[in-house]
Every structure is written in C-alpha cells, then in structure tokens.
Structure 1
Amino acid sequence: MPEALLLLQKYWKHESFRPPQEQIIESVLEGNDTFALLPTGGGKSVCFQIPALLLNGICLVVSPLIALMKDQVQNLQSKNIKAIALTGGISQDEVIDILDNCQFGNYKFLYLSPERLQHDWIVDRLKQLPINLIAIDEAHCVSQWGHDFRPAYLKISQLKTAFPKTPFLALTATATKRVQKDICESLALENTKFFTKSFSRDNLAYHVIKTEDKLFKIQQILTKNPQPSIVYVRNRKACIETSQQLQQLGFTATFYHGGLPAKEREKNMQSWLENKAQVMVATNAFGMGIDKPDVKTVIHIQLPENIENYYQEAGRAGRNGEKAFAIILTNLGDIEYTKRQFIDVLPDKKFVREVYVKLNNFFQIAYGDGFNESFAFNLNQFCSHYNFPILKVFNALQFLDRQGVLTFQNESSEKMSLQFIIPSKEVLRYISLHPHDEAIITTILRTYSGIFDIETVINPHLVAKKANCSEANVVKVIEQLANNNCIALHAKNNDSAITFNEVREDDLTINRIAKFLEHQNQLKQDQFQSVIDYISNEDSCKNKLLLAYFDEITTTDCGICSYCITKKKQNPLATTDLILQLLQKGNLSSREIENSLQISAEATIFALQLLLEHNKIAINSHNQYYTL
C-alpha cells in the first residue's frame, strides 16, 4: 500500500507502520468490518484516519471522550485536514450548521459522541452524508462487561442498517475475550476481520513495592531514573500536594488535573513534554492522546480502580522501546482506604434518583423541560447545598453521563461575557484602525445583537467558526478590546458543566436505567478485586498476571518485574546475617537498614520478619530494630 505509507510519512512523519496497522488499513480499504485490539500506544487513530483520507467521502468517528475528540480534531486541522466535532452542549442550530458543513464543505472527518445517535433527526441527517467509514473508538464501551459501559453505544448498530455497505472499524485498547465477542455482536459486525496485538511489553518492568513511606520511595526512584516520569494520584488535592513535595525535594515537577483552566493545563503539559519538568503529577484526566516516547517511569501512589485503567496508564512508559518501569507503591492501609474511595461510594438506585431530582431542582428545570440546556456547575457547591457526600454524587453523575441522561464535563471551563461600552460609531472607528480584527468584531456584533445594551455571554468557538479563524485569535481580539476600554469583559472559571440530554421525567428516567446500575456496581467490585489480587499475589510474575487478566497465557516469567527480581536476590539468610551485624553497631529503622545495605525494601522486610519470628531482634517505640 504505497499510497497509505506516503500519507503516513507526509502527515505523521513516521517512516513505517507499526504491526498490525498496515493490515488493519488494508482490511478497511477492502470494505471489511474490522475489529482492532491495540494496547495503549499502538496507534489506533492512524488505522481509521489514513484509509479515510484514501477514500472519497467523510469518516464518521464515534467517541465518548470529548477531550480526545477535540485533541484529534485540532491535530487533523493542524495538518490542514478538514475535521469537525459534534459534542454535547451544542445548540440545535449549531448542530445543523455543522452537518451542513459536512454535507457541502468537503470535510474528511466528523467526530460525534454516541449520545447524539439517540436523536433520530441526527441519524437522518447522517444518512445524507457520503460516509466512507464508520470508526468506533473506545469500542469496549458497547459491552456490559467492559469497564466503561455506555448504553448509548448500543445505538451504533442502527448505523449498520443505514450504511449496509460502509465498513465498520471497532477499536479498543483493553478488552477480554468475552468483551471482544460482545462488541462484535452488539455492533452487528459481519464477517469481521480480527487484529489483536499482544498485551505483552517486553521492555516494561511491572513492580509492586510495599512501603510505609511512599514519598521517600518516589525520591529514590526518580533519583535513580532522572528521565521523564508520571506520578498518578487519586484526586486534585493530592495532585498539587505531591507536586509541591517533589519540588521541595529538588525535582522539577508540574501537575495536571481536570479542574485546571485550559491555559494552565497546556502550559504544564508543554513544560513536561519539552523536558523542562521531569515529573508530571496527574490524575487519570491526564494521558489521552499523549505519546511521549521517553517516559522512564510511571508510578501509582494509590491503587487503581481496575486493571484496564492501570494497564493503559502504565503503558505510557517506555514507548521508545527502552527499558522502563510501571510501579505501584502500596502499604497495609491501601486496600481498605481504596475500598472506601471506590466501593463504599457506589450509588444505589434511590441515591441516583435523589441526585437527579435535586439537580433539576437546583437549576429550576420543570417536569418535561430541560432538553439540551447547559449550565455551569460547581460540584462542591451543589453537595454543600444538599448535604450530599461528594464522591458518591460524582459517581452518580458519572453514571447518568454514561447512560446518556446528561453530559457531565468534569473539566474547568471559561465562561466569557462582555458588553460594548462605546457607541457603535466608535466601534467602526476602532475597526478602521485595526482592520485585521474586522472579521471577528463584526461576527460578534452580528451574532449577539443586544451586546450594546446588556452584558452577553459569548461562545468564542462559535465566533471563531463563523469568522473562519482560530479560537485563540478570537480571545486575543476580545482581550485587546477590553484593554482599549471598548468593552466590559468578565471571564469566570467554572468547576465543570452539565448538559441535559433528555427532558426531565424523574421516575421514568431512573427506572429505565436502573437495571444497568446494579450490574455496573457488581462489575466495579469484581474489577477492584482483580486489582487486590494483582498487588497481593507474591507467587507469580507480574507480567504473567496482567496478561492472564486479558486472557493471554504465557508460561515464561518476564525476568524484570518485582517478583522476578526478588527471586534473583541473594539468599535471605545471608541478608539476615548482614542485618544482625549492622544492628550490633546501633538501633536502626527499616529504611536505614535498606539504605546501608543497598537492598530492596522487599528483601529488607522479608529478612526482618525472619529475624523477628526467630526472636533474634525486636522493635522499639521509635520503629527501630535492635538485637536481642
């Protein structure tokens, strides 16, 4: 396929395809329904973007991840490839404009969220488009057995009826055999060509390290491996605190979470991508579309929610093929703490209903109203108002989001409102002095007719689209107008946003989706138990355990994980002799023993336990060991 390779070299600057990208592209070009399981870093987007460019017409991409859709659209646009996204929170008029552009504007890619397929009129409009390929990203979302089931994905199968001759390409990074089968059946794929890449990463060493002092252990790891690293934490508070602690220890560290304003997220991201910061401390909001090849270590200092998420996050290390490390730091209290964080806060039907009703009341939505209405939303404020537990409400909102009832954007957004405070003739004078700004200013005036009379909320993205320029240029012109005292400008950061995708129907809504809730809660408990089994198992190779979870069986130990390294360590009896000799000189903590003997924490703890069991040593009130 010389044409495909030329496109890869031209737009993506890669000299060759990674296996099995070329075979997937060939299957799609032959018109086959295709299933592709490419573990994280496998280059899934190329598998639909290149065939779409080779075919006449437009590629429809279904994806549940708004941030990833925006990222891919921006990347395509930066290559001068026409792409557009149809996400939640867009008015019906804007949706019509976007679909008109796709029909008459020679676009190559239309990204949309699966919830959009629940509206028959949108599906009818899609039928009018020259769609050459339908790509379903994050395809595991269609399976009730997947780790992120979204019922809206079940609507994708109706596109099979509308486009019987159009190839479907289902893509995912994590799916067990059971989920793979469910995906193909739920999407109604026919004569499917399967392409799966092994989950094994020969250069990635999986380590589970037990330690009571996680910060000290991170310091050791990052000092030994001064290359780019990611430290995953559970929440925004830990994100900021851990970053500050690492800075105090002398590391260059920055942080990333969904609540950061877009400009600060981008600044922190660039600092890390350009190696100005060694460490990125992040929540799981970080990672989509990130392909930094030289990440040496990925460290989780709290237990992950499930093996699927852990595998994807860990897999961001070592993409350049050099040896890298995926490390979980854990202690005795982690399992119970994480259960409280994940399992104890799973909402039941009664709680989900209460949150849904209160949410509608909070925004003063009457029964039968609310469809496609969007609101700025502060989770803490809402929970404080109704005395709700924050984590449980967050889970309830995520469930309602995945069921398509509403769209919960748990990211910071900037709401911009302005009013012209100079007469219209002065605006014309300003335009004559700044002719490069004319298109943007006149677009604002035409779009928002009352902007001289009242403060008006504007949508920079919509202005940019109508003025045929970038959103950054729109913001720049608005800021210049404010600096020149032409407008009164107010920009306010919001914690997140809520868009209602259905009219308010209370019991009818909740009863319809309740059957999925119990199943989801049980699945989450089972998945977390798999995490517990993974970190607790001290008798098997960590790579073997991960592969087995994804139904990939190997009889060979990897030789580089924490289990395999411990097997290779010196005789524990020899270690106990060294510790006894050391303690004869004075009392020491386990960390001091570990540093003095230059052995692993696991080997130190094992030897100390042996000595304690045989009454060779004891421990004092200062957690120091001494000989008996």
Structure 2
Amino acid sequence: MNSALEILTKYWKHDAFRKPQEAIIASVLEGKDTFALMPTGGGKSICFQVPGMMKEGICLVISPLIALMRDQVQNLQNKGIKAIALTGGIHSDEIIDLLDNCQFGNYKFLYLSPERLQNDWILERIKNLPVNLIAIDEAHCVSQWGHDFRPAYLKIVQLKEYFPKVPFLALTASATPRVKEDIMVQLKLDNPQIFTKSFYRDNIAYMVFETEDKLHLLQQILQKNPQPSIIYVTNRKSCNETVHQLESLGFTATFYHGGLSSKDKEKHMQLWMNEKVQVMVATNAFGMGIDKANVKTIIHLHLPQNLENYYQESGRAGRNGDKAFAVLLNNPSDILHAEAQFISVLPDKKFLNLVFTKLCNYFQIAYGEGIDEQFSFNLNHFCTKYSFPTLKTYNALQFLDRQGIITLSQEFSEKITLQFIIPSKEVIRYMSLNPNDEEILLTMLRTYPGIYDMQTAFNLQLIAKKSNHTENEVLSLLQKLKEKNIIEMMAKSNDATITLNEIREDERTINRVSKYLEAQNKLKTEQLQAVLQYSKDTKSCKNKVLMQYFGESLAADCGICSYCISKNRKKQNPETVSDKIVELLKIQDFNSRDIQKLTKLPKDDVIFALQKLLEDETISINSNNLYSLK
C-alpha cells in the first residue's frame, strides 16, 4: 500500500503535509474517531481524501455545500479518481444508477448532502456499501449553537449503528468552544482524537477604520497595495456599484455574486485568478474552494453578519505567508444598516408559514404532494406577486433550506422549453445532411419522445452529458435550429432553483421546525452584537478580540493590527499640529482630507486639532466643508 505522502505526491503534487494534516490522517488510518478544527485555508479536504484513497472501499463525505461538493468531485475526477455527488434535484432513477456505480464500480468517494440520509431507501443502499471512512464536513452544522445549524445533521449519528467500526472524521473551519463540545456530543464521537489548529494568523494585520468617505480610504489602500485584493459587500447591487467606482478611479476590477451564470462566474473568477484585474468585488457567494496564495488585502466594505464569516473571508489573505491585511471599513450609519440587513429581516413563525404556503401555491402543489419536484424560481417575481419584503423572504427560504424542507440552489439558470415544428422525416433528413449535429439530435429525440407534440422542458446539462458534448455546443445547435425554423424555443432566466424535499403539509411542516427558528434568531442577534463590539472596541488588540471569540488567548498584543499601530504610534503635540494647519490655511482654504494629505499627519490628530481650532474660533468652516482662517 502506498504511504500517505506517496498518495499526496502522486495525486496532489505536494511534497509535504501542512500541520496537522498528517497527524489527522494517521488517526483516521488507525480507525479512531477524529475531530479537526482547522481554520480556512488549512486543507481540510486532504485529511479525508488521502486516507480515503489508502483504504479499501469508499469514503462517504457529508457536506451541505452543493457547489463545493461539485467542485471537489470535479477535481477528483480530473485526477483520475472515481467520485460521485448526490446533490439535490437528481431524480430517483438516476440516484439508483449512481448508487449502483458506487457499489459495483470501484468508486472511492461518495459526496452527499445530509438531507439525503433522511430518505430511508437511500440509507438502505448506503448501508450495503463498503464504507471505509465517514467524513462530516462543516460539522458545526450539527450544533444548535453553530452559525449554520441544520437539523438533518442530527441524523448522521445513525450511521454509527450501521458502521460501528468505521471512523468518523468531523471537520470544521469555525467553531467556538461551546460548538466544538456540542459537535462531539451530537455525533457521539467515541473517545475522539482532537486536533485544533490555532486561529492565530501572525501575518494578517486586522485593521478597523471608521471613516465617512469609504471610497477615498479604499483608493488609498489599493494604491498602497497593488497586489490581488478582494472587497466583500453585502448585496449584488453594491458589487456592480463598487466596480464602477473603482474603475472610475483607474483600478481594474470585476465582480462575483450568486446571480451570475456559471459561465460568467468562471469568466470573472479567472480574470482575477490570472491577475488580469486587481480587485474582486464579491458577496459571500465568492470564496469556497478559492486558494489564491498571494491575496494581499481583504476589505469588508460593510459590517459582516458574524465573526465566523468575517474570519473565514479574511483568512483568504496572505496564504503565501507574506504580510497581508484584513480591513473593515465602517461608519456610524453602518450599525443601523447591519441591524436592518441582518436582524429586522429575520422571519418569525407566522411569516415563515405564510411564505411556505404561498411558495406551494406559486408552484401549484396540492396538499400532500410535491416531494422531489424541482422548480425554476425568481425571488423578485415571487416577492412582487405576494407583496413580500425581499430580504425577509430570502431569509425564510434559507431557513427552510437549512431545515431540509426545500433545497434552494442559488445558481443562475435558464429554463428552456422547445418543440420541433417540422415533421420527424424532415428532422431525419436534416441529420443526414448535417452529420456533426446527429449525436445531439438523436439524444434529444430519445430523451423527449413527445417533443414533436408540445413545448417540452429541456435539460441542457442532461443532454450535454448524454451526448458527450459541452453545454455550449448543445446551446449553439439549439440556436441554429431555431434560426432555421426547425424548432420553436423559449428561454426564461431564473436566479435559483427550488427542490421540495418532502410533501406539502403547510402548518404541520412549519410547526415541526419552528422551535429552531427562535433559537437561531437569538443566536444571530448575539453574533451581530459580537461584530459590533469588535468594530467599536478601540482599547483592545484586534487579534486578541478575535482569538478570544474562538476560545483562544494571546499572551501579548499582535503588534500589527490597527489598535496596536495607533497605540505604538508617536503622539503628535496638539499645538504643533494646530500650527501646521494654520500655516497651511494661510495659503488657501482646504477640506480635512487635503489638510491631512498635505501635512502628512495622522487623521485622528488632524481632526482633534481642527475641532480645537474651531472651538477657539481661530478657523471657520463654510458650506463647502472648506476650512479657512478667521
């Protein structure tokens, strides 16, 4: 059998493990239950993929992140490793085929969402697989105190009964001490080996700046640090606006959010990854699986929802070990904005029930029906139809998704319907004259026998896969057929798909999960308070505050955060600062930003001196915010 290092070198082209990857792998290979808390960028997937390759049988990977599952499966397949993902929206017949492949096709990895374990027949099939390791990714989802609790994770412990000798490996990148203990209890880890990598990143300078003019400070930061940067914002509109503002200042930038098509996401990401642009402006949809080593600066333009997300997003900076910056820009109005964005839009039980009922009506689902049905969904259209507030509705749908009642896939899609409008013999004649199109056309006709009779919903991914062509090739052919009046085609854009995971039971469905709603709302309020405390605290090392939140303590201040720099900076004599300002204003009137720039003095010292000079009536300020001597 190849050693762990040989497997790592052969498939992942690395010549050494990062700490504590090797120790975690050794623990798993010894058959021990293992808990690993590894901050973002620590290489969690290696910890189950390497031992999964070393042991006979198949590694079961449970994860709630559909995009990440697909990404990891694709990466494994690219390495010649057989892997499969059971994500939402796959019909029963296809699941049976995939599970047959797992049982008889020598597959090494089976990825599935925890909701899949709630299907008894799927569980029965999994029980018969030669499982060698059960990896639980995003393990904080099993805890009610975690920032993304999903009741479906509570079902994972059932696998202990069916695979008593198979080790559990619980992995998370963000867990407070309370969540860490809860994970081990809920998963019934048996005398687990515990590995916790410190959250402390000695090369990241955590900076918090209060400013009325965020764009100006942004400009200064990006000019001083021209290396790759990510700017996180809270919504799609801010993505576009910020990119336009940066471009007007001469920076190269692109954007990334959940409303982009897969093609555009890939295109924008590659522009940034290949350093054709300096700045990626993104919502928190960006970042999963992104491992760019030389990111210099992460800037949060708005207050984040919680410190777990903030730490993960900030941790994408400085992975090459060079000094990097995690900057949070705020102003007094941001607190009101954050409360409006994250707290006042939390749904209560009554609103949740209303959204679910209207959702079922929207899709025309009868009571007692709907399980496993998939629908294209446009959030704005839904909210407009029922006069629902958008953010509150989105939060209700996210809650239903986490509870496993629905699967909300926030991927831009195009719903295509088409029908052949020429006789079948003419289609056959066309194929004989255009042999390059024959394979795709035959696949379409075999898959949709009623496509001559009526407008038929068309699955682009399925036809591409079955015909061994790319989606673009299939789409190009459809456009050509439409132009030649061979088919009639309609395409409607949607920003999401929704799959119902259980039958419609209205209040009975909501009553079952409402007990979690109140606890989650309370937790989110507490988490935002921790963010506000972090942003407002001017008397503590920023690194110390973060470490304390995650249950660690630093013996000394970090020396590089915004607090440490201000503490260590030599204080200017107020009279000297005032004198410099007066001398400057003898030349002409200036605003505070220009005074700071020309005097090269710290902003706080300049503002303090200006206030003192105004109080002494040495200077005045006019309606254009220009200071002048009296």
Give TM-score scaled by structure 2 length.
Answer: 0.95
CA distance in 1 between counterparts of 2:477 and 2:160 reads 45
Q: What is the alpha-carbon root mean square deviation over aligned residues? A: 2.1
Q: Which residue of 1 aligns with 2:495?
A: 495
Q: Residue 417 of structure 1: CA displacement?
A: 2.9
Q: Which residue of 2 aligns with 1:91?
A: 91
Q: Deviations over 1:471-502 (max 9, x none)?
A: 55554555565566654444332121211111
1:185 is aligned to 2:185: yes
Where does structure 1 lack aligned partners over 5 or more consecutive residues? none
> Which deviates the most, 418-427 or 540-549?
418-427
For 2:13, what is the secondary structure of its paired residue?
Answer: coil
CA distance in 2 between counterparts of 1:64 and 1:222 reads 35
Q: 2:590 aligns with which of 563, 588, 591?
A: 588
Q: Which residue of 2 aligns with 1:554?
A: 554
CA distance in 1 between counterparts of 2:467 and 2:52 reads 28
Q: Which residue of 2 aligns with 1:154?
A: 154
Q: CA 1:63–1:550 in 2, change beyond 3 Å: closer, same or farther? A: same
Q: CA 1:430–1:17 in 2, change beyond 3 Å: closer, same or farther? A: farther
Q: Is the 8 A contact 1:566 1:602 kept in 2?
A: no
Q: Deviations over 1:374-423 (max 9, x none)?
A: 11111111111111111111111111111111112222112233333454
> Which deviates the most, 479-488 or 339-348?
479-488
Q: Which residue of 2 aligns with 1:601?
A: 603
For 1:572, what is the secondary structure of its paired residue?
Answer: coil
* Counterpart residue identity of residue 491, structure 2: A
* Structure 2 counterparts to residues 279-318 of structure 1, below 5 A: 279-318=279-318
* Counterpart residue identity of residue 523, structure 1: L
Q: Is the 8 A contact 2:2 2:54 kept in 1?
A: no
Q: Is the 8 A contact 1:305 1:342 kept in 2?
A: yes
* Counterpart residue identity of residue 396, structure 2: A
CA distance in 2 between counterparts of 1:266 and 1:255 reads 11
Q: Residue 427 of structure 1: CA displacement?
A: 4.3
CA distance in 2 between counterparts of 1:492 and 1:156 reads 38
Q: Residue 120 of structure 1: CA displacement?
A: 1.2
* Structure 2 counterparts to residues 220-235 of structure 1, below 5 A: 220-235=220-235
Q: Is the 8 A contact 1:303 1:330 kept in 2?
A: yes
* Counterpart residue identity of residue 607, structure 2: I
* Counterpart residue identity of residue 342, structure 2: F
For 1:418, what is the secondary structure of its paired residue?
Answer: strand
1:352 is aligned to 2:347: no
> Which deviates the most, 207-216 or 488-497?
488-497
Q: Residue 326 of structure 1: CA displacement?
A: 0.7
CA distance in 1 between counterparts of 2:480 and 2:195 reads 52
Q: Which residue of 1 aligns with 2:462?
A: 462
Q: Which residue of 2 aligns with 1:43?
A: 43
CA distance in 2 between counterparts of 1:562 and 1:568 reads 10
CA distance in 2 between counterparts of 1:8 and 1:472 reads 34
Q: Residue 349 of structure 1: CA displacement?
A: 0.8
Q: Deviations over 1:267-302 (max 9, x none)?
A: 111111111111111111111111111111111111
For 1:31, what is the secondary structure of its paired residue?
Answer: coil
Q: CA 1:196–1:448 in 2, change beyond 3 Å: closer, same or farther? A: same
Q: Deviations over 1:202-237 (max 9, x none)?
A: 111111111111111111111111111111111111
For 1:194, what is the secondary structure of its paired residue?
Answer: strand
Q: CA 1:233–1:29 in 2, change beyond 3 Å: closer, same or farther? A: same
Q: Is the 8 A contact 1:210 1:602 kept in 2?
A: no
For 1:159, what is the secondary structure of its paired residue?
Answer: helix
* Counterpart residue identity of residue 526, structure 1: E
* Structure 2 counterparts to residues 113-262 of structure 1, below 5 A: 113-262=113-262
Q: Which residue of 2 aligns with 1:369?
A: 369
Q: CA 1:529–1:456 in 2, change beyond 3 Å: closer, same or farther? A: same
Q: Residue 579 of structure 1: CA displacement?
A: 3.2
Identity of aligned residues (%): 63
Q: Is the 8 A contact 1:211 1:601 kept in 2?
A: no
Q: Is the 8 A contact 1:261 1:493 kept in 2?
A: no
Q: Is the 8 A contact 1:464 1:474 kept in 2?
A: yes
Q: CA 1:55–1:435 in 2, change beyond 3 Å: closer, same or farther? A: farther
1:277 is aligned to 2:280: no
For 1:246, what is the secondary structure of its paired residue?
Answer: helix
1:75 is aligned to 2:41: no
For 1:623, what is the secondary structure of its paired residue?
Answer: coil
For 1:284, what is the secondary structure of its paired residue?
Answer: coil
Q: Which residue of 2 aligns with 1:106?
A: 106
Q: Which residue of 2 aligns with 1:448?
A: 448
Q: Deviations over 1:559-604 (max 9, x none)?
A: 1111111122231324444334333444322211221123443443
Q: Is the 8 A contact 1:254 1:281 kept in 2?
A: yes
Q: Deviations over 1:180-216 (max 9, x none)?
A: 1101111111111111111111111111111111111
Q: Residue 605 of structure 1: CA displacement?
A: 3.4
Q: Which residue of 1 aligns with 2:543?
A: 543
CA distance in 2 between counterparts of 1:518 and 1:532 reads 21
CA distance in 1 between counterparts of 2:307 and 2:611 reads 30
Q: Which residue of 2 aligns with 1:578?
A: 580
Q: Is the 8 A contact 2:231 2:281 kept in 1?
A: yes
> Which deviates the most, 248-257 or 411-420?
411-420
CA distance in 1 between counterparts of 2:129 and 2:23 reads 27
Q: Is the 8 A contact 1:314 1:326 kept in 2?
A: yes
Q: Deviations over 1:341-371 (max 9, x none)?
A: 1111111111111111111112221111111
CA distance in 1 between counterparts of 2:10 and 2:609 reads 58
CA distance in 2 between counterparts of 1:21 and 1:430 reads 58
Q: Deviations over 1:67-119 (max 9, x none)?
A: 11111111112222221211112222222222122112222211111111111
Q: Which residue of 2 aligns with 1:621?
A: 623
For 1:35, what is the secondary structure of its paired residue?
Answer: strand
Q: CA 1:293–1:112 in 2, change beyond 3 Å: closer, same or farther? A: same
Q: Is the 8 A contact 2:407 2:500 kept in 1?
A: yes
Q: Which residue of 1 aligns with 2:524?
A: 524
Q: Is the 8 A contact 1:566 1:603 kept in 2?
A: no
Q: Is the 8 A contact 1:572 1:607 kept in 2?
A: no
CA distance in 2 between counterparts of 1:609 and 1:64 reads 53
Q: CA 1:110–1:481 in 2, change beyond 3 Å: closer, same or farther? A: farther
CA distance in 1 between counterparts of 2:438 and 2:106 reads 27
Q: Residue 429 of structure 1: CA displacement?
A: 5.0
For 2:369, what is the secondary structure of its paired residue?
Answer: coil
* Counterpart residue identity of residue 407, structure 2: T
For 2:3, what is the secondary structure of its paired residue?
Answer: helix
CA distance in 2 between counterparts of 1:69 and 1:603 reads 51
CA distance in 1 between counterparts of 2:601 and 2:513 reads 53
Q: Is the 8 A contact 1:534 1:542 kept in 2?
A: yes
Q: Residue 533 of structure 1: CA displacement?
A: 0.4
Q: CA 1:602–1:74 in 2, change beyond 3 Å: closer, same or farther? A: farther
Q: Is the 8 A contact 1:256 1:282 kept in 2?
A: yes
For 1:523, what is the secondary structure of its paired residue?
Answer: helix
Q: Residue 139 of structure 1: CA displacement?
A: 0.7
CA distance in 1 between counterparts of 2:476 and 2:60 reads 32
* Counterpart residue identity of residue 512, structure 1: R
CA distance in 2 between counterparts of 1:192 and 1:8 reads 25
* Structure 2 counterparts to residues 321-360 of structure 1, below 5 A: 321-360=321-360
